[in-house]
Amino acid sequence: MVATIKDVAKEAKVSIATVSHVLNHTRYVSPELVERVNSAIEKLNYYPNMLVGGLRSKQTYSIGLVLPSISNETFGKLAETIQKLLLIENYNLIVCNTSNDYDLEISALNTLIMKSVDAIIIIPSTHNAEKIVEVQNRGIPVILVDRDIEDLDASRVKVDYKKATYNAVNYLIDNGHTEIGYIDRAKELSHSMEQRDGYLSALKDANIEINPKNYIRCEGYDYLDGVNAIQQLIKKNPMLSAVLAYYDVIALGAIRGAVDAGYSVPDDLSVIGCDNMPFTSALVPRLTTINFPIEEISKAVIDLVMMALNNSKEKKNIIVDGKLIVRDSVTKPRVSNRGL
């Protein structure tokens, strides 16, 4: 039915070894034979089966990508960028969603093991390194992205969230804000700790007292969670003049919630988001946000993957900057509370 290497060999009147070598440029073949093989391939419409390559304990040219969700625009874009770069190197991507669920993460990892992927890129959903270590022990290199797992001997690419958040809060302080809220994620992940760290350090360095009423944790990733969070925050501290959200969609919800509560944004409430998602620059007001440098991260990931694929045992830590994108959602507070 579908042509195999045997058919090509027969058609070209050569051995299958010759066909294989023509396909892979893996030893000298005389021009005439190359020509005959290529015609046969074309005539029979032959495509080599990539899976068997993997059988001979070689590469499968598949890379696994495990992440919480690709329907999140940021992660979707990341997946797409990584895929495009990988394609250049002739690798394919098998994407697995975990929905931030550890069991799903394990089953994703198991699937990728069974699919004999050459490497796994993962945005982990927990701190649990056990399964990842098992994967590594099978000889599959693992690259960690965006979120960290301590004590794991793996290459990583991360955003310097502490610095990014520190800068963002500082920007609010420079604008005269002192009652600065922070909407944090409910789940305790490495980057949340870093971000919180940046928030607290910035306040501390500016000698602003830390007010627990300005801090809230937010359950989900839907804008309604942001609506809810900001309204609670406002209730707890009516003096609140600025707020930082861990995710642009939450910031969007915060704006919506503030508007619904009769606030004007940014005049009554300045808002900063995180991720620089495409829609943020179109909002009214345009959202000031922390950039998530997708291209830079993707390139770094590819570098690390290729390094691992070249059997380098070396591990590398790449840190990228999350710059503040200044737009229109931050102004000076109506009445400066500084010193009150």
Of the pair 60, 178, the CB lying nearest DNA is at 60
* Full DSSP string of 69-128: -SSSHHHHHHHHHHHHHHHHTT-EEEEEE-TT-HHHHHHHHHHHHHTT-SEEEE--SSS-
Count residues binding DNA (CB under 7 A): 28
Map the footprint of a copy of itself across residues 253-272, applying CB under 8 A. Answer: 253, 255-256, 259
| 284 sits near a copy of itself (criterion: CB under 8 A) | yes
> In the stretch 130-169, what mask flags binding to a copy of itself with x, by CB under 8 A?
----x---xx------------------------------
**How far is the CA of 100 from the CAs of 108, 123, 143, 189, in angstroms?**
12, 9, 17, 11
Q: Determine the Cα–Cα distance for residues 191 and 144; give it in Å rounded to an integer.
A: 13
Tokens in use for 247?
């995710």
Compute φ and ψ for 107, nearest 5 degrees: -70, -30
CB of 3 to a copy of itself, least distance (A): 9
CB of 222 to a copy of itself, least distance (A): 8
Residue 318 per-residue DSSP state? E
Other C-beta atoms closer than 10 Å to the C-beta of 102 total 14
CB of 47 to a copy of itself, least distance (A): 5
- Member of 92, 237, 291, 337 binding a copy of itself (CB under 8 A): 92
Q: Determine the Cα–Cα distance for residues 160 and 321; give it in Å rounded to an integer.
A: 6
Query: Choosing among DNA, a copy of itself, none, which partner's interface includes residue 270 (Cβ < 5 to 8 Å by kind)?
Result: none
31-44 vs 5-12: helix axis angle to the nearest 10?
130
> In the stretch 25-64, what mask flags binding to DNA with x, by CB under 7 A?
-xxxxx-xx--------------xx--xx-xxxx------
- Member of 5, 44, 259, 306 binding DNA (CB under 7 A): 5
Answer for the pair 248, 221: CB distance below 8 angstroms, yes or no. no
Positions touching a copy of itself (CB under 8 A) are 1-2, 45, 47-52, 54-55, 60, 62, 69-73, 76-77, 79-81, 83-84, 92-97, 110-111, 113-116, 134, 138-139, 222-223, 227, 249, 252-253, 255-256, 259, 278-279, 281-284
